[in-house]
C-alpha cells in the first residue's frame, strides 16, 4: 500500500514538472523574437541586432534574459534594468557590464568597444 502511494506521488510530481515546463516554453513560443532592438541611452541610442547575437553567434537566451523562468513577461532589458539605479543594475551598468565586457573578451573580432561604435546620435 505504501509503495503504491509513493509511486503515485512521484508520478504526480513528475507530471507537474512536465506541465510547468510546457507552460513556460509555450509562453515564449507565442512571442516572436525581434530582429533588431533599439536601446535608449542618454548619449545616443544603441541599436542591437538580436538575430545576429541569438542565431548567428548562437548566444543562449538565458545569457541576456537571465530571469526568463521567473518573469517571462519581462523580456526587454529595460523591463528590469531601469535607467536609474535601484535594486538591480541600471540599464547602463547592465549594458556595460554584460555587453561591453563580452565585446572586450572577443578582442580581434568585429565586436565594437568604442562608445561611438554602439551609441548612435
CATH number at residue 98: 3.90.10.10
43 and 100 both lie in a single domain: yes
98 and 85 both lie in a single domain: yes
90 neighbors 83 (Cβ within 8 angstroms): yes
Number of domains, the chain: 2
60 and 39 both lie in a single domain: yes
60 and 77 both lie in a single domain: yes
Distance in angstroms (rounded) separating the CA atoms of residues 107 and 101:
10
51 and 109 both lie in a single domain: yes
* Contacting residues for 61 by C-beta, under 8 A, at least 6 apart: 54, 68
Nearest to 66 by CA among 46, 35, 89: 89
Q: Please give the model's pTM, rounded to 2 decimal places.
A: 0.65
Range of the domain at 51: 33-118
DSSP state of 42: T
Q: Does residue 86 have a pLDDT over 80?
A: no
Q: Does residue 24 have a pLDDT over 70?
A: no
Distance in angstroms (rounded) separating the CA atoms of residues 80 and 88:
7
What's the pLDDT tens digit per position in 40-84? 888 999 999 999 999 998 988 888 888 877 777 778 888 888 877
pLDDT interval class at 26 (50, 70, 90): very low
8 and 42 both lie in a single domain: no
Distance in angstroms (rounded) separating the CA atoms of residues 112 and 26:
34
15 and 43 both lie in a single domain: no
Amino acid at each position: 500500500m505504501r509503495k503504491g502511494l509513493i509511486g503515485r506521488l512521484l508520478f504526480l510530481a513528475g507530471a507537474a514538472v512536465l506541465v510547468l515546463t510546457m507552460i513556460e516554453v509555450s509562453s515564449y513560443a507565442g512571442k516572436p523574437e525581434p530582429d533588431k532592438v533599439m536601446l535608449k541611452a542618454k548619449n545616443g541610442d544603441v541599436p542591437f541586432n538580436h538575430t545576429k547575437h541569438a542565431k548567428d553567434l548562437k548566444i543562449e537566451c538565458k545569457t541576456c534574459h537571465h530571469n526568463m523562468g521567473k518573469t517571462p513577461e519581462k523580456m526587454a532589458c529595460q523591463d528590469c534594468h531601469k535607467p536609474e539605479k535601484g535594486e538591480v543594475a541600471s540599464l547602463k551598468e547592465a549594458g556595460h557590464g554584460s555587453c561591453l565586457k563580452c565585446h572586450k573578451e572577443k578582442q580581434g573580432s568585429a565586436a565594437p568597444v568604442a562608445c561611438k561604435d554602439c551609441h548612435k546620435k
